[in-house]
Structure 1
Amino acid sequence: MFIKRSFQIAFSAFIVLLLLNQALNQHLENLIAILLLLPALIASYSAIMHLDFVKKPAFLLVVTVLCTALNLLLLLYVALRFQINDVSDPLNVQIKATELLHGNQNWHSNFDGSQEYFYVYPNLVFFTILISKVMVFAQSVGLSIQLALRLMNFFLLAMVTIFTLLTSWRLSKNIRALASTAVILLFYPVMYLYPNMVTYTDTWAISCTTVVFYLVAVVLTSQRRLVIVGANLALILVYGLLYAIKPNMVILLPAVLSLIFMTFFLKMPEKWRVVLIAISLALGIVMATMTTKSLASSNGYSQSAQKKIALPTTHWINMGLNPFGSSGKGAYDSNDESLDIERKLEKKTYLTMDSIKDRLQMLGLAGWFKLALDKSQTLLGTPLFGFGRYASGYDQAPGYYLHHQVMLTTFFTIIATTTVLLVGGQLLIKVWQPYENQPITTNQRAFTYLIGLAAIGLTIFHTFIWEVEPRYFLPMLYPVITLIGMVGGVQRLPALKIVQLQVNVNWTKLLVWPIASILFLELTLSSAKSIPGIAYGNMEYPIRLEILQPVKAPVELRFSLPVPETVNVLKVNIRPEPGQRVSLSTGQQLIPRNGHYTLEKRFAANQNVEIFIHRDDTKTKRPLILYRQPPLYKQLFHGSSVTIDGQRYYLPYEMDIYDRKPFELLDVNNSPVLR
């Protein structure tokens, strides 16, 4: 009983932390709208469940099929129509994968002119090789590489939906639980998470984690030995792939080992199945370690160079203890990284350990816990919605979205947070009372324990020990928020029954909450329209290739910049110089301001803006900084180019849709660097 109660308390504390962080992260208007939506949805659900046809299996099956179909169509639409011009790490990976495709196996490429990117971050080598193999496959079947990567993202996102539903069915064998899971996934689809709109490790990690948990469910529930053996073999392969792509998911192994301890003390019949799962996970790590080293070496990656350049483990712990990180408390910090790279080169890595000791002493025990709580806000509370996560750099997006991206971001944030709070609240009740009359099955209990232990472990790891980023919890997010559908749905919760008794008294009361919710939601979304956003432009890409290059430019340069949507501000990101003028074809000059040239003017959609740059050789002494198009499979930059010394160069510029706030308030170039 002590072990069971300890888990219930710990998992409940995690759920409460998740719900509080989600709620407190919202603006006041959003939070009021959410608090109105919650009782409205509960009341509507209780009223709907009174209808006899809703309880029929045929109806629930139709709901499941429709929700799943809409979910998959939505994911496909987003994968094909929304694409962010990948920045930083994702772009590094794609450029190197393209080079591998063309036989260039030189991994010694400078990052920002100083560091060896893939030797500083060796965990990305396997993923880069994996993406290059996808590119090879695309060429072999006649697909363009960009279309292949988009379809790859769609299939990975679709796997999250499909395998979550399969897991729910495997554990419950109940159509109501399946329908409940399908509805949750429809209101909280994977497209809300911004890393899934770029080609990076997170999409693969979320998908592989979902498959891992499905295979765990098969091992826990199957009565056929052949199926159990096959599921464990598949588990070795899938978990090995997951570990190779996202090493922090090693947390699943100590979670399973803790579950073994619990099963023996609680005398659970699944204990030997859990032991098999633990063995499979351990073999997966061994297989991943051996395979990735061999694969990396065969693709020209030097293991000896990695030992010389790769940062020590203490680097990530040191950043995790930084209360003043450039990307947030305990998050990635460029100063810590630069210092640790220098310490590595000078063979003074002990200075990083000294920094850890100093920070622990400075924080003290109370400060350490306070920092962990602040980091939990980043890990569990920061919205992770692809819509609006990066305000610029869209390679492709519908015009309506560009015009209303802030309003739509607010809407998706409200819906997603409401879903998390509603599902999390029900899960909190089920932790203590899984069913009202019918006890939870033992394999469902074991599965719940495993998810709970892994979620708690991952949270502790990234809040108390390691550096933190919002996307680090993504692999465990969907198992947690869909747990209510996976392990239950047979009986309605006591809280819902209480509400049901109240709303049955008077149908008029049932309409009050939904109407009030819709009205306040409309007011909240309307207020969000006044916030400015970036429509278009050539972003600054902080990647290892020297895309920004100094150029000895001729006296006059001309660029033609497309205007896909009506905008109000044009900013040309070249530094002002004496004797240099930037103007439109009409002769109207852009104003030098804060290191760039700006013009506030309404530019109509579907036209080209002609930009002229005139440089007086007698006064301008420094070269012009322009973008150089790298040898990549997709076009990074918009607008016409100029050819200088046989190289094509593009103009750094941005366009702002709104004119209600000064352009300088936007902080686009300081978007968080993905790690």
Structure 2
Amino acid sequence: MIGCLTIGIFSNLLWKSSLLNSVLLLIIIWLIWIILTPLSKFFDRLSSTKILSLVVVATLFIFLFQLIILSYFPVSVYHDPYRVLTQAEQLATGNHSWNESTYFWRYPNNVALTYFLSCWFRLTFFFKADTNLSLNILNLGLLDSFIILLLSTLWKISHNKSLMIGTLAFVGLSSFAYTYFLQIFYSDLPAMLGLLIIFRILLFWQSKTKKQKYLCGLILFIIVLLTQIIKPNTIVLLPAIILLIILWQSKHLLKNYQMLIPLVLIIFGLISVFPANDIIQKITGFQSNSAYELPVSSWILTGQTKNGIYERSIISQELKLPNKAVRNKINQKKILTILKKSTANDLLKRWFLKLSIFLNVSSISSWYNGGFRAAPAWYQAYALIIQQIVDDSYQIAVIILNLLLLKRLSKWQPQLKRWSDSIAILLVITTLGFIAFHTLLWETESRYGQIIIPLLLLQLGIFSAGKNQIQSQKSRSKSGFLLTIVMLTLFLAFLRLPNSSLKPKSLVVAAQRSQISTQYQLRSDYINSKNIISQRVVFKHKVNKIKIAIPKNSQLTIYLEALDSGKKIKIKANANNFFTPGNYKLILKNNTGRPQKITISHNKFYQLAPYPLIINKKILAHSSLVYQALWINQKIDKTPEVQ
């Protein structure tokens, strides 16, 4: 565990980061580390009433800021979350067809999540809410429930005042509460909330009365079942529980079999997922299709590649095979071949790289996020700097969390006779289980690592129970000396690095990237001969690159009309033209004598873009082209062709 946390620290400090940015992060971390002790002493001296007041006020500020983000910074949701919400919207309106694309045939694990989301939509549609508002309420409710329940659990575990404020800072002063989990609905946050509830019930199980245990047991079973359905890798709880029972047995602590009841309920919840999934598929009318379905070995195969991440090329090759059984057979052979050819050094490199990816959080603001649809002008003026701060803030928070946990773990001497220590051991084993699952077996990506965040915070809470951080004068002097060295390094790095290294490469000025994607064989839309499709877009920053999704071999003429001047600029689907901020209209015209394919995203009640799509003067409020308007930090030599 200590080794994994250490790798996580270095991954977040150095992974895909310039030397200057790494040094800046290091300085900020050292400054925070130095002031942790005086801050902890200050907060620990405050009364519980004052701490509660601080928590309430801070939570309200977080909530208000979240409302501002949702109101003024809507993002373009793309990839899996968009496919899930589109199908859920369809189910909620009574359409149980699953053959619009091959996505769910390929990934049936998302059928249950889609069904649960459709139930929420059905409820909110009854109150005349649109899909955007429904998703905002759901994300806000799940995220803030997670934050409040986390704070409540940590206080009940430790009664450590500084830990409460520190946890509040972790969620409120970093991008945790304002980016991915707030703006995108997908399986990660529900699974994190589920794990938090599971371990909260376990931690306080012994203090419950007999009647309370009946209720908690029922809740535990249901939450485990739902979490496992939504996030299948929750199965790592099973070996973790078995290992804990073996530890108890080795220490002769299994005399009271009452302690096994919650663990047995968890096991029942995990194995009940199979009939539950069958029931959900029957309710939704979903039928699997082996011609498209991928076997489990697909994810294991991609996990054994050089980088250990999802590779579309591998999946494309698999889909050329006739069915799931054939794919599985060939995948198994490929996996064995890779393992036989891999040396011990190859395996260690692959595992180290996958672990580094799994524990890295530097890209949280871009997970399933195609950019802001049209952020305010004041934001876009400073967007590159703000974006760097947003990403760095969560890296700093996670590094500090890892450092604190390392400090506690190195001094921890678990006593299995204590229930809290037994659950702490289960937390550690479960955390290592998730890490091992995505490092040794499955494919990985940085988003997957978020599942262990509640587990790490709960461990810190248990290890901090009744303890205050104490730092000697000698330790503070040593920290000051190290800070001086770091600052000197920063100065030297600044002299050596070019200014361009300080700037991210591009800014998304306006975007609508939500689409099912042609790889899932979505039925194409067509634009008839001489017909026109248009959509208004607003650039609140200068633009020098425009991308419009157009099907291959489709012959369409594309214009960008400046609404203020009336001038039309002929552009390509991937255009390097310069445009000043202003109001524009994208115009796609079919000048051929036959229908042409066109990429359009359609929804029932989900507003995809700030302005509707117009087809031959017919307004489609919930349809949109797929486009991006970018500002790239490089010179564009091409000049616009004015019509």
Following superposition, the deviation at residue 527 of structure 1 comes to: 6.8
Name the residue aligned to 2:189: 203
SS at match of 2:543: strand
**8 A contact 2:142–2:189 mirrored in 1:** yes
Aligned match for 2:277, one of 292, 305, 311? 292
| Residues 293-329 of structure 1: per-residue CA shift (max 9 Å, x gap) | 1122022122xx3566432221111111122xxxxx2
Aligned match for 1:353, one of 306, 311, 332? 332
* Alpha-carbon distance change, 612 to 268 in structure 1, aligned in 2, over 3 angstroms: same
* Alpha-carbon distance change, 61 to 499 in structure 1, aligned in 2, over 3 angstroms: farther
| Residues 547-583 of structure 1: per-residue CA shift (max 9 Å, x gap) | 76343331x7473533151323252535899995746
SS at match of 1:656: strand
Name the residue aligned to 1:597: 575
Name the residue aligned to 1:4: none
Whether 1:467 and 2:443 are equivalent positions in the alignment is yes
Whether 1:312 and 2:295 are equivalent positions in the alignment is yes
Structure 2 distance, partners of 1:90, 1:44, is 40
* Alpha-carbon distance change, 565 to 572 in structure 1, aligned in 2, over 3 angstroms: same
SS at match of 2:343: helix
* Alpha-carbon distance change, 449 to 551 in structure 1, aligned in 2, over 3 angstroms: same
**8 A contact 2:106–2:293 mirrored in 1:** yes
SS at match of 2:544: strand
| Normalised TM-score (structure 1) | 0.81
Whether 1:321 and 2:304 are equivalent positions in the alignment is yes
| Normalised TM-score (structure 2) | 0.85
Name the residue aligned to 1:265: 250
SS at match of 1:600: coil
Structure 1 distance, partners of 2:370, 2:252, is 55
* Alpha-carbon distance change, 223 to 499 in structure 1, aligned in 2, over 3 angstroms: farther
Following superposition, the deviation at residue 239 of structure 1 comes to: 0.9
Structure 1 distance, partners of 2:54, 2:484, is 26
**8 A contact 1:562–1:639 mirrored in 2:** yes
* Alpha-carbon distance change, 294 to 50 in structure 1, aligned in 2, over 3 angstroms: closer
Over the residues paired in the alignment, what is the CA RMSD in angstroms? Answer: 3.9
Name the residue aligned to 1:24: 14
Name the residue aligned to 1:36: 27
Task: Single out whichever of 73-82 and 32-41 deviates more from structure 2.
Answer: 73-82
Aligned match for 1:342, one of 312, 320, 340? 320
**8 A contact 2:184–2:368 mirrored in 1:** no
**8 A contact 2:85–2:114 mirrored in 1:** yes
Aligned match for 2:455, one of 476, 479, 482? 479
Q: Which runs of 5+ in 2 are unaligned?
A: 639-643
SS at match of 1:536: strand
| Residues 41-92 of structure 1: per-residue CA shift (max 9 Å, x gap) | 2322333455598454444333333333333444444344443222122121
Name the residue aligned to 1:411: 389
**8 A contact 1:558–1:642 mirrored in 2:** yes
Aligned match for 2:357, one of 354, 359, 378? 378
* Alpha-carbon distance change, 232 to 652 in structure 1, aligned in 2, over 3 angstroms: closer
Structure 2 distance, partners of 1:189, 1:613, is 38
Structure 2 distance, partners of 1:212, 1:53, is 29
Instruction: Give 1:573-592 correspondences, 5 Å limit.
Output: 573=548, 574=550, 582=559, 584=561, 589-590=569-570, 592=572
Instruction: Give 1:59-98 correspondences, 5 Å limit.
Output: 59-98=50-89
**8 A contact 2:77–2:368 mirrored in 1:** no
Name the residue aligned to 1:535: 509
Name the residue aligned to 2:36: 45
Number of equivalences: 625
Name the residue aligned to 1:559: 534
| Residues 98-130 of structure 1: per-residue CA shift (max 9 Å, x gap) | 2212222122333xxxxx321221111111111
* Alpha-carbon distance change, 597 to 419 in structure 1, aligned in 2, over 3 angstroms: closer
Structure 1 distance, partners of 2:161, 2:637, is 52
Following superposition, the deviation at residue 247 of structure 1 comes to: 0.4
SS at match of 2:580: strand
Instruction: Give 1:129-278 correspondences, 5 Å limit.
Output: 129-188=115-174, 190-191=176-177, 194=180, 196-219=182-205, 221-266=206-251, 272=257, 275-278=260-263
Instruction: Give 1:584-663 correspondences, 5 Å limit.
Output: 584=561, 589-590=569-570, 592=572, 596-604=574-582, 607=583, 609-610=584-585, 617=592, 624-637=596-609, 639=611, 641-643=613-615, 651-657=625-631, 660=634
Amino acid in the other structure paired with 2:507: G
Q: Report % sequence identity.
A: 17
Name the residue aligned to 1:569: 544
Structure 2 distance, partners of 1:443, 1:286, is 25
Structure 2 distance, partners of 1:576, 1:588, is 24
**8 A contact 1:532–1:660 mirrored in 2:** no
* Alpha-carbon distance change, 663 to 231 in structure 1, aligned in 2, over 3 angstroms: farther
